[in-house]
Amino acid sequence: MTAQRQPGDWRIILYSSLGSGLDFYDFAIFAVFAGVIGPVFFPAGDDLASLLQTYLLFAVSYLVRPIGGVVFGHLGDRFGRRRAMLLSLWLGAFAAFGIAALPGHAELGAAATVGFIALRILQGLTIGGQIPGTITFVSEFLPLRRGLACGLVFMLIELGLLLGNAVSLGLHAALTPDAVAAWGWRIAYALAGLFGFASYLLQHRLEETPAFAAATAARLPLAEVVRSHGPALLTGMALTALPAALLGVVYLQMPAWLIHIVGTDPQVATAATSLGVLVWALGIGLAGWIGDRGLRPAELALAAVITLVLSWPFYRWLATGIDPVVPLLLAAIPSALMFGAFPAMLTALFPAALRFSGIALAYNLAFALFGGVGPLVATWAVQASGVAAAPAWYLMASAVVGLAGLWGLRILHLHSRP
């Protein structure tokens, strides 16, 4: 059989990013439609209680991501990055189609709730392998430009959030609120399944990375990471904490927070968040390029300090009910700096033979602990304190953890591992 020609550098970045972008699209539509999905599968009679149940499931789907990272990281370090990424892409598309077709609690009773939870958990497992695999894949193809490559990957991934918000805007514009709540949100999940299968066809064209081909595979990569690279693992988690918290609280939770807590019109909330995501995504590639000039730690430090100092004024400003566009555009600055810096930092923490497993464990544990529980904790804090700006406290604590990660990176001196 004739060997297939490998796409060029930029197509490698594009094709390998599609699955991760799909995962972010899935999480975006779940967050955007949380207020209408909750009553379908978790009828509680109280809108806020139903929203809390939905965010609890959001947290659970994040908490299983480390398990997915362990499974797909093992497959990626043992049998190849490409195979692991393709498998996770297929499973993610299947879960999206399943959610689109699953009857609600009114039709199936508790079985609908159980089925929905199972499919969300499957999505969490697949994203646990897809994004670490993509980071590993592009950094090994473009080691001298890993900052730019990883930055462009996350730019494309964040556009998955934008696509989710765009689909939400389109559905709210074309349908009545009752129709969106009854069946319109299912269209968004059906599209996710279609995107997943199309992405598979493109990603299937990619070959394995040279670094994996040259490395001697460890028998138990995860055990080796924990045994021999514990400090690097903890440092990677700390570096990822703030990006994870920011994604979960500022972007995924923001539309629902604006709608249900502040009282913003749903279309205004979604449009403002979408514009913020667009500016954020476009800035990530630039931040990654700047990071390749030796400025990644400075980028992350600046973003952490901005978050620590300005989170409270940011949420207080939004809580007044003003047009949210300007605050969310300003939030894109530290967001771009963080997401342009931290992925390339993770790739430098682990050797090639253990890179997929190391990145998967550090990334997914951090996103589970700081991103997945973020909307749940932030919503609970608002309910418990009666302070609309309470999510700021969560971001400030995460910024402190991020600064600790930079201190750990300085001790390890692993900025430029090939």
Predicted pLDDT at 72: 93
Which amino acid, one-letter code, is at 318? L
Predicted pLDDT at 392: 94
- Beta carbons within 8 Å of 120's beta carbon, 6+ residues apart: 30, 57, 58, 60, 61, 95, 99
Residue whose tokens read 């555009």: 329
Predicted pLDDT at 46: 56
Predicted pLDDT at 240: 95
Predicted pLDDT at 377: 87
Instruction: Please provide the DSSP assignment of 287-306 as one string.
Output: HHHHIIIIIHHHHHHHHHHH
Residue 266, judged by CB atoms within 10 A of its CB (0-12, 13-18, 19+), counts as: buried
Half-sphere exposure of 199 (CA within 13 A, CB side): 31
| Beta carbons within 10 angstroms of residue 320's beta carbon | 9
Domains in the chain, ordered, with CATH? 16-412 (1.20.1250.20)
Distance CA 120, CA 115 (A): 9
Residue whose tokens read 């406290």: 393
Best CA proximity match to 104, nearest among 115, 120, 119: 115
Distance CA 302, CA 9 (A): 30
Which amino acid, one-letter code, is at 85? M
Best CA proximity match to 117, nearest among 180, 229, 188, 38: 38
For the chain, the distance separating the N- and C-terminal CA atoms, rounded to the nearest angstrom, is 33
Residue 285 Ramachandran class (φ > 0 left, ψ -120 to 50 alpha, else beta): alpha
List phi, psi (to 5°) of 44.
-130, -10
SS3 (DSSP) at 4: coil
DSSP-H helix ranges across 145-229: 146-174, 177-179, 185-203, 210-214, 221-228
Distance CA 27, CA 95 (A): 12
Residue whose tokens read 């918000």: 165
For the entire predicted model, the pTM comes to: 0.81
Predicted pLDDT at 3: 40
Predicted pLDDT at 308: 96
List C-alpha distances in Å: 219 to 31, 75, 135, 223, 254.
39, 11, 22, 9, 43
SS3 (DSSP) at 251: helix
List C-alpha distances in Å: 191 to 24, 260, 315, 340, 416.
13, 26, 33, 28, 40
Residue whose tokens read 């894949």: 137
Best CA proximity match to 165, nearest among 325, 33, 338: 33
Residue 90, judged by CB atoms within 10 A of its CB (0-12, 13-18, 19+), counts as: middle
Q: Count H helices and E strands in the chain, helices first.
A: 20, 0
Residue whose tokens read 């400003």: 317
Mean pLDDT, 10 residues at a time, the chain of 418 residues: 51 81 79 78 65 68 82 91 89 91 86 86 87 89 84 84 83 88 91 88 84 81 90 94 91 84 86 87 90 89 95 94 92 92 91 92 89 83 89 95 90 58
Predicted pLDDT at 29: 84
- Beta carbons within 8 Å of 371's beta carbon, 6+ residues apart: 62, 244, 245, 247, 248
Predicted pLDDT at 51: 64
Chain length of the chain: 418
